[in-house]
């Protein structure tokens, strides 16, 4: 199943301020998320079996991306982009 990717305006502004190498890595991730979200991310916190909404993370070179997958709305939403070395 292919999900709709949602990137909130505040996250878009954050991405615009990142180095080009980080932006390129995020774009590559975003291109894969709608069809492969479960395969390319890891559970974030407690995974509740058969839950319609799951929170997951993807680790990139310098960033950690937190997403929610909502099966009932068929969406993948970027919740936060965290730079553990820069925040």
pLDDT tens digits for 29-83? 999 999 999 999 999 987 777 788 999 999 999 999 999 999 999 999 999 999 9
Question: Residue 87's pLDDT band (boundaries 50, 70, 90)?
Answer: low
Provide CB contacts within 8 A for 65, sequence distance 6+: 26, 29, 57, 58, 59, 78, 80, 81, 82
What single string gives the DSSP state of each residue in 5-55? Answer: EE--HHHHHHHHTS-HHHHHHHHHHHHHHHHHHHHH-EE-SPPPTT-SEEE
- Is the entire prediction scored with pTM above 0.85? yes
């Amino acid at each position: 199943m292919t999900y709709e990717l949602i990137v909130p305006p505040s996250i878009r502004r954050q991405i615009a301020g990142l180095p080009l190498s980080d932006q390129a890595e995020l774009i590559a991730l975003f291109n894969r998320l709608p069809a492969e979200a479960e395969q390319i991310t890891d559970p974030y916190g407690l995974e509740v079996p058969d839950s319609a909404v799951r929170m997951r993370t993807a680790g990139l070179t310098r960033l950690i991306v937190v997403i929610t997958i909502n099966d009932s709305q068929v969406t993948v939403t970027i919740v936060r982009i965290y730079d553990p070395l820069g925040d």
